[in-house]
Amino acid sequence: MNATDPIEEFDARHSVSFLRTMALALRGPLARKHTILAVCPTSAAVVRGALAAVSEARAPLLFAATLNQVDCDGGYTGWTPHAFSDFVLHAHRRNENVSPVVICLDHGGPWKKDHHRTAGLSFDQTWDAVVQSMTACRKAGYALFHVDCTTDIRLPRGAQVDVDDLAERTVTLMRSVVDSGDPVAFETGVEEQRAERDRFDSFFRVFDRKRGDLPRPIFAVGDLGTALDVSHFDPSRARGLVRKAAAFGALVKGHYTDAVVDPSIYPSCGIGAANVGPGLAMVEYDALMDLEAKEHRLGGKSDFSATLRSALIKSGRWRKWCLPEETTTFDRLSPERQRWLLRTGSRYIWKHPDVVASRQLLCKNIRDVCNGGAFVESRIKDAVLRYIRAFNLVGFTDRMARL
């Protein structure tokens, strides 16, 4: 397969057909019984572990890749959209997986990529970059596009994009995707935390008026009370958003499901799908720390944790998740905060050359007692299976086939 060959298994037409059939089932005979899992591909280990889990459980899987993770410049994973789809395709084949796997774009919109903000790109520059990225995603077989125009760095701190402007930008960006190829599916909404309850309604009313012949989004995004570093989930708010989304023919898709204590409540609340990402990077980090403990007992010394820590500090990526009052250096933060930032920030630097070399040495030093790569992927697989069970997805592929 060369860089211009189509990826037949991830042809958007087949994936969109599956998404639409699934959405009809989740709004009809399977309503409030299942929630579809979307995994953010933060590393190769996460992709392989997730595919192993859905293969075993006979469950579908969405890969929701942000432009930070996968983009024309390689993102922090090193994957371009085509390289990512190609990797998933081959891993899918190795598992002899019969479950549907859909490649998706997460948070496609102005200034949603960290580099676009840190580089100070203008609106036109970030818009053009996003359109270019989305075009590459289309060519790579992506089927579901999350169009997210909720960020505008020109606004005062804390200010939100006007609903009319938000809807107009969303429609324009969706139009650019539709005009570039075969039919695709969409996800959009207003997931800003602490957003006013009527903002969701207002956005979709204006959006519905402006969208013309554009397809209605399959998923609507709203604030469920979740965040990366808290376990709060608001069932009452979730049920309200589900009712409102249904009026616009959409299912609610939850973001930041990682820390939710009891995700099994999602199906009964009517949540159609849910994203998990940084939490799996934490699972990968914890597994590697356990491997390093094994290595120390065997007398080996890869200095993996020290190398990872040094690379993260130098990258500056840890600052993205600092609290407003955390303006000091990394070393002056509390041990608990340092560990949390290391666990969640590790995903940004898995591909750093020093980290790669140290990880390889770690796995070499323990190879007589443990296959390090298999150990990490197994832990990720177990974590993904937890969500699959909580979302009632075991055997979902077979159930869909019987409808």
Residue 67 shares a structural domain with residue 182: yes
Q: What digits encode the pLDDT tens for the residues 292-316?
A: 999 999 999 999 999 999 999 999 9
Residue 205 lies in a domain: yes
Which of 79-83, 92-96, 384-388 is the least confident region?
Answer: 92-96
Q: Are residues 220 and 327 in the same domain?
A: no
Q: What is the pLDDT of residue 196?
A: 65
362: in domain? yes
Of the candidates 137, 153, 147, 142, the one whose C-alpha atom is nearest the C-alpha of residue 211 is 147
State mean pLDDT over 128-147: 96
Q: Is residue 290 part of a domain?
A: yes
pLDDT score, position 10: 56
**Same domain, yes or no, for 116 and 251?**
yes
Residue 179 is predicted with a pLDDT of 82
Residues 64, 26 within the same domain: yes
Cα Rg for the chain, rounded, in angstroms?
A: 21
Give the pLDDT band (50/70/90) at residue 97: confident
Residue 115 has pLDDT above 60, yes or no: yes
Q: Report yes or no on 1 lying in a domain.
A: no
Higher pLDDT, 377 or 197: 377
Q: What is the pLDDT of residues 29-67, one digit of tens each?
A: 999 999 999 999 999 999 999 999 999 999 999 999 999
Q: What is the predicted pLDDT for the residue at 87? A: 96
**Range 150-156 average pLDDT:** 96
How confident is the model over 326-381, as pLDDT tens digits?
999 999 999 999 999 999 999 999 999 999 999 999 999 999 999 999 999 999 99
The mean pLDDT of the chain is 93
Which residues, listed in sequence order, are joined to residue 276 by a DSSP beta bridge?
Answer: 39
Both 84 and 46 in one domain: the answer is yes
Q: Is 385 found in the same domain as 261? A: yes
Q: Considering the domain boundaries, does residue 3 fall inside one?
A: no
Asked if 266 and 145 sit in the same domain, the reply is: yes
Whether the pLDDT of residue 4 is over 60: the answer is no
Using an 8 Å Cβ cutoff, are 241 and 252 in contact?
yes
Rounded to an integer, the average pLDDT of 88-104 is 87
Same domain for 346 and 389, yes or no, is: no
**Domain housing 361:** 281-379
Q: Is residue 59 part of a domain?
A: yes
Total domain count, the chain: 2
Structural domain includes residue 351: yes
Q: Are 352 and 311 in contact (CB under 8 A)?
A: yes
Q: Is the pLDDT reported for residue 3 higher than 60? A: no
Could you tell me the CATH number of the domain that includes residue 179? 3.20.20.70
Q: Are residues 337 and 351 in the same domain?
A: yes
Tens of pLDDT, residue by residue over 258-305, are 999 999 999 999 999 999 999 999 999 999 999 999 999 999 999 999
Token couple for 146 = 């999350």
Spatial CB neighbours of 58, under 8 Å, sequence gap ≥ 6: 98, 99, 394, 395, 396, 397, 398
Q: What is the pLDDT of residues 202-246, one digit of tens each?
A: 999 999 999 999 999 999 999 898 888 778 888 999 999 999 999
Residue 2 located in a structural domain: no
User: Which secondary structure element, helix H or strand E, spans residue 242, and what is its range?
Assistant: helix 235-247
Same domain (yes/no): 302, 271: no
Query: Domain check: are 223 and 259 in the same one?
Result: yes
246 and 345 in a single domain? The answer is no
Q: Which own/partner contact pairs does 239-246 have at CB distance under 8 Å and 24+ positions apart?
A: 239/269, 239/270, 240/197, 241/200, 242/269, 242/270, 242/271, 244/200, 244/201, 244/204, 244/220, 245/204, 245/220, 246/27
